Structures are given as C-alpha cells and as structure tokens.
C-alpha cells in the first residue's frame, strides 16, 4: 500500500508571517548588540577609575613603608606590619575588581582643580573656611579601619583637614593621626563619607587645613 506523505505545506501567507517574525528577532538581536557595544565604554571607564584608585592606594602605602624603613623609629615595625596587611587587602580588591593585582601608582599632583564653593552637607562637623593646601592633589584611601581619620606626609598628627570631593560636593573634616605617602590619605570610614559609589579615587579634591 503506498505510504501517504505527511510533509506539511505552508501557505504563502504563513511564509510571509514567518519571514516577518524572523526579521523582528534578527533586528532585536542587532539592537541588543548595539546596546551592549554602546554600554561597554562606560563600564570600561568605571573599571579604569576603580583600578587607578586602587593602584594609587597601593602606591601610597608602599611609599609609606619605604619612608619608615629609611627613617625607622621604635614603632616602625608595627606600622610596616599594619600597612603590609593593608596592601594585601588592596591586592585582593584589585583581583576582585578585575584589575592587575600588585599594580602600583604613587600619588602625584594633578591639574589644579577648579575652585568651587564647597557644600558642607556631607561634612560630619560643618567646619569650613580653612586654608587651602596641597592644591591639585588627588585623594584616595589608606585601607585602614577605625573612626574617620587621615594620614599625611605634610601635616603632623592633630592637624584638622577638611576634604571636599568637588565631583559630588561631599565633605568631611578629620584629624591627621599618622603619616603616609601623600598630602591627605583617608582611612576607609572617612573615604566612605565623600566617595562616589564604586570609586577609589577622588580626582577633583579641595583640601583645607582648618585646625
């Protein structure tokens, strides 16, 4: 008995509908690819800023250790051990952020930031009107825990510094409690008060000595 073919035939109208659907899917894919392509530079810029900030933090801590070894005192070994632990933590953050672990860049003066009135809405103390110092310096974090504080290579412990992030107008006034390799290096708590989400570097910073 001859076998009856079960092959389905598609009417011209159905063929047209399928072609339109396929074109829509292809167009959607092209749109998704375009959106991904357009989003990539922003993500890369964000990643670059994070990596640069972590590299600066690492470099500042390495510079501090070099200074302690060049001019040691009774507390140098303890300070060095503390900063080595901080460096290890920064390297872990570098790896987690997709940066090169161990990449280091010491803080160097940048372009003079544009002068702008500082908004003290983010300032824990409200202190303002100090003497501007370290013009052009960037600000990053030391990686140290504890209450908000700063370290500096220019001002002795007890100095009050007000740091304003000109990119978001947040400020914090903190006491210098130790020495470091840059003008103003904020610990984790102080940096958190003025940072922009996901960033480990403040490029446009206003640093004032207020006490």
Q: What is the C-alpha to C-alpha distance for residues 203 and 138, in angstroms, rounded to an integer?
A: 5
Q: What pLDDT shows up at residue 120?
A: 39
Query: pLDDT tens track of the chain, all 211 residues?
Result: 555 544 454 455 554 454 444 444 344 333 333 333 344 444 555 578 788 888 888 888 888 888 889 888 888 888 888 788 888 888 888 888 889 888 888 765 443 333 344 443 444 434 456 799 998 888 988 888 999 999 998 999 999 999 999 999 999 999 999 888 789 999 999 999 999 988 888 989 999 999 9
Q: For residue 1, how many other CB atoms are within 10 A of its CB?
A: 3
Angstrom distance (rounded) from CA 173 to CA 115: 18
Q: Is the separation of the CB atoms in 210 and 160 below 8 Å?
A: yes
- 78, 136, 158 from 51: Cα distances, Å: 28, 20, 31
pLDDT value of position 12:
52
The reported pTM is 0.56
CATH architecture of 120-209: Beta Barrel (2.40)
> What is the spatial distance between Cα 154 and Cα 40, in angstroms, rounded to a whole number?
40
- CA angle (128, 155, 199) in 5-degree steps: 65
CA–CA separation, 159 vs 98, rounded Å?
37
pLDDT at 74: 85
Q: How many helices (H) and strands (E) does the chain have?
A: 3, 8
3-class secondary structure for 93-140?
HHHHCCCCCCCCCCCCCCCCCCCCCCCHHHCCCCCCCCEEECCCCCEE
Cβ proximity of 171 and 96 under 8 Å: no
Alpha-carbon distance 207 to 209, whole Å?
Answer: 7
Q: Taking a C-beta distance cutoff of 8 angstroms, is the pair 53, 199 a contact?
A: yes
Map out the domains of the chain as residue ranges: 29-96, 120-209
| Rounded Cα gap, residues 15 and 9, in angstroms | 10
Please give the sequence-ordered ranges of beta strands (E in DSSP) within the chain, or none if there are none.
131-133, 139-141, 150-152, 160-165, 170-179, 185-186, 201-202, 205-209
């Amino acid at each position: 008995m001859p076998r009856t073919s079960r092959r389905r035939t598609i009417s011209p109208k159905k063929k047209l509908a399928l072609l339109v659907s396929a074109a829509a899917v292809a167009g959607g894919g092209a749109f998704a690819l375009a959106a991904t392509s357009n989003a990539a530079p922003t993500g890369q810029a964000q990643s670059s800023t994070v990596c640069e900030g972590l590299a600066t933090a690492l470099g500042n801590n390495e510079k501090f250790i070099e200074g302690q070894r060049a001019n040691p005192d009774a507390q140098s070994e303890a300070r060095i051990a503390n900063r080595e632990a901080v460096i290890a933590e920064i390297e872990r953050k570098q790896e987690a952020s997709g940066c090169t672990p161990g990449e280091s860049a010491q803080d160097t003066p940048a372009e003079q930031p544009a002068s702008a009135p500082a908004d003290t809405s983010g300032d824990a103390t409200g202190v303002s009107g100090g003497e501007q110092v370290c013009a052009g310096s960037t600000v990053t974090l030391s990686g140290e825990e504890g209450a908000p504080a700063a370290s500096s290579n220019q001002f002795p412990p007890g100095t009050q510094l007000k740091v304003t992030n000109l990119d978001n107008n947040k400020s914090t006034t903190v006491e210098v409690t130790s020495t470091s390799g840059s003008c103003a290096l904020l610990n984790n708590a102080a940096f958190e008060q003025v940072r922009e989400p996901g960033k480990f570097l403040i490029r446009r910073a206003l640093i004032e000595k207020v006490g």
